[in-house]
A and B are shown apart, each in its own frame.
Chain A
Amino acid sequence: MAGEGRVEDYLALLKPRVMSLVVFTAFVGMLVAPGGINPVIGLVAIACIAIGAGASGALNMWYDADIDAVMSRTRNRPIPAGRISREEALAFGMVLSVFSVMLLGLATNWVAGGFLAFTIFFYVVIYTMWLKRSTPQNIVIGGAAGAFPPMVGWAAVTGTLSWESFALFLIIFLWTPPHFWALALYKQGDYGAAGIPMMPNVAGEASTKRQILAYSVVLAVSGLLPVWLGMSGWIYGAVAAITGLSFVWLAVRLWRAPDGADMRRAARALFTYSLSYLFVLFLGLLTDAVALRLGVI
Chain B
Amino acid sequence: MASENAARLADNGMTPEQEAAFRRQRRRRSIALALALAAFALTFYVLTIVKMGPALFDRAL
With beta carbons under 8 angstroms apart, the residue of B29, B40, B50 that contacts A5 is B29
Q: Do B50 and A40 have beta carbons less than 8 Å apart?
A: yes
Judge if A194 is at the interface, Cβ distance under 8 Å. Answer: no
- B43 contacts which chain A residues (CB < 8 A)? 44, 47, 103
- B40 contacts which chain A residues (CB < 8 A)? 99
B53 to chain A, nearest CB (A): 9
Q: Do B28 and A7 have beta carbons less than 8 Å apart?
A: yes
Q: Do B29 and A7 have beta carbons less than 8 Å apart?
A: yes
- B50 contacts which chain A residues (CB < 8 A)? 38, 40-41
**Which residues of chain A from 99 to 115 have a CB within 8 Å of any chain B CB?**
99, 103, 106-107
A266 to chain B, nearest CB (A): 43
Judge if B59 is at the interface, Cβ distance under 8 Å. Answer: no
Q: For this complex, into which size category does the number of interface residues on chain A fall? A: 10 to 19
Q: Do B47 and A41 have beta carbons less than 8 Å apart?
A: yes
What is the CA–CA distance of A106 and B51 in the complex, to the nearest angstrom?
A: 10
A258 to chain B, nearest CB (A): 51
- A3 contacts which chain B residues (CB < 8 A)? 22, 26
Q: Do A40 and B29 have beta carbons less than 8 Å apart?
A: no
B14: nearest residue on chain A (CB-CB)? A1
Q: Do A4 and B22 have beta carbons less than 8 Å apart?
A: yes
Judge if A256 is at the interface, Cβ distance under 8 Å. Answer: no
Q: Do B28 and A106 have beta carbons less than 8 Å apart?
A: no
- B46 contacts which chain A residues (CB < 8 A)? 40
Judge if B32 is at the interface, Cβ distance under 8 Å. Answer: yes
Number of residues from B at the complex interface, CB < 8 A: 12
Write the A1-21 contact mask toward B (1 if CB under 8 angstroms, else 0): 001111100100000000000
- B51 contacts which chain A residues (CB < 8 A)? 41, 107
Write the B20-54 contact mask toward A (1 if CB under 8 angstroms, else 0): 00100110110010000000100100110011000
A40 with B47, Cβ < 8 A, contacts A7-B32, A99-B40 known: yes
- B26 contacts which chain A residues (CB < 8 A)? 3
- B32 contacts which chain A residues (CB < 8 A)? 7, 10
- A44 contacts which chain B residues (CB < 8 A)? 43, 47
A48 to chain B, nearest CB (A): 9
A6: nearest residue on chain B (CB-CB)? B25
B39 to chain A, nearest CB (A): 9
Q: Do A106 and B29 have beta carbons less than 8 Å apart?
A: no
Q: Do A4 and B25 have beta carbons less than 8 Å apart?
A: yes
What is the CA–CA distance of A99 and B44 in the complex, to the nearest angstrom?
A: 12
Q: Do B22 and A107 have beta carbons less than 8 Å apart?
A: no
Q: Which of B26, B28, B29, B40 has the most CB of A within 10 A?
A: B29
A110 to chain B, nearest CB (A): 14
- A41 contacts which chain B residues (CB < 8 A)? 47, 50-51
**Which residues of chain A from 151 to 180 have a CB within 8 Å of any chain B CB?**
none
What is the CA–CA distance of A47 and B47 in the complex, to the nearest angstrom?
A: 13
**Which residues of chain A from 132 to 163 have a CB within 8 Å of any chain B CB?**
none
Q: Do A5 and B25 have beta carbons less than 8 Å apart?
A: yes
A72 to chain B, nearest CB (A): 27
A103: nearest residue on chain B (CB-CB)? B43
- B47 contacts which chain A residues (CB < 8 A)? 40-41, 44, 106-107
A-B contact pairs, 12 of them (CB 8 A): A3-B22, A5-B25, A6-B25, A6-B28, A7-B28, A7-B29, A7-B32, A41-B50, A41-B51, A44-B43, A44-B47, A99-B40
